[in-house]
A and B are shown apart, each in its own frame.
Chain A
């Protein structure tokens, strides 16, 4: 009697264990790789600015502001998808949005911003993609939230929209604004 019970119960348990694993696997997006840079100081960089190439931008520019660093490129179609929302953010919120133009053609990038509108406070130009690697960028668009001390506090992979803003990004930004330097 006991052995018969085990014969039924053990395979059933194993079955539910496997189902549990697979069920979990369905919900995980393999393209979302957690960044080890969260709660780390922003990686150092010195890059020219898109509209004034003689001026340099670095991570020191993050100090004292809550910043949204948005990684984009003209060849990235999804970037155009989130662009309208970024424009809205730049109007409504008193938030600094810094662009990182990733592996792009400078003149195309300027033209793109003139045609589609420019939500960025500063655009840093990373034509080689080396700064992107330092920041762990593996797909555009990516958006980092950087606090007043220059620490990376959150990373969003993929386009941002009203829902993501309301649910995730905005609460984090409010919290970071209230932090003292």
Chain B
């Protein structure tokens, strides 16, 4: 029982390192983490609900290779995301910047939240009366 438990814990802890080390050799552990976080914040353009890290599509593989090469050649995270956004647009980023087309995306939830709070107070006040 105990051994089984440890086995599963180890399996879980190893998940990311197995995936990354198999294909890519990094100069440092930090670079490897950057690779993992970058590929999980960028969208695969072919299968749009997957990240670049998850997708098996050939394009996602090519984009992962590009990111890997750019990390090893010393480019910053911002350089890399800026490059990909300049080619594929904001669509590739799971964190779109604030502009006219994303205003509702950014502030919509807050507006709905504030509206909800006002409605809640209205209901409470009404019930007291």
> Is B87 a contact partner of A33 (Cβ separation < 8 A)?
no
> Is A135 a contact partner of B87 (Cβ separation < 8 A)?
yes
> Is A136 a contact partner of B87 (Cβ separation < 8 A)?
yes
Q: A33, A133, A134: which contacts B89 (Cβ < 8 A)?
A: A33
Determine the residue in chain A with the shortest Cβ distance to B59: A138
Number of interface residues of B (CB under 8 A): 15
- Comparing A34-42, A77-85, A90-98, the segment that makes contact with chain B is A34-42
Show the binding face of B for A, using Cβ within 8 Å: 45-46, 48, 58-59, 62-63, 66, 85-91
A33-B45 in contact given A133-B87, A134-B87, A135-B87 (Cβ < 8 Å): yes
Is A58 in contact with chain B by the CB < 8 A criterion? no
> Inter-chain contact count A-B, CB under 8 Å?
41
> Is B63 a contact partner of A133 (Cβ separation < 8 A)?
yes
Is A25 in contact with chain B by the CB < 8 A criterion? no
A139-B46 in contact given A36-B85, A37-B87 (Cβ < 8 Å): yes
> Is A36 a contact partner of B86 (Cβ separation < 8 A)?
yes
Chain B contact surface mostly: helix
B27 CB to nearest A CB, Å: 22
Residues in A with CB closer than 8 Å to B63 are 133
A136-B58 in contact given A30-B48, A33-B45, A130-B66 (Cβ < 8 Å): no
> Is A35 a contact partner of B62 (Cβ separation < 8 A)?
no
> Is A136 a contact partner of B88 (Cβ separation < 8 A)?
yes
B35 CB to nearest A CB, Å: 17
Could you tell me the distance between the alpha carbons of A30 and B58 in the complex, rounded to whole angstroms? 19
Residues in B with CB closer than 8 Å to A103 are 58
Could you tell me the distance between the alpha carbons of A34 and B89 in the complex, rounded to whole angstroms? 7
Known interface pairs A33-B45, A133-B62, A139-B45; 8 further A-B residue pairs with C-beta atoms within 8 A, sorted by A's residue number: A33-B89, A36-B85, A36-B87, A36-B89, A36-B90, A43-B87, A136-B89, A139-B46
A65 CB to nearest B CB, Å: 24
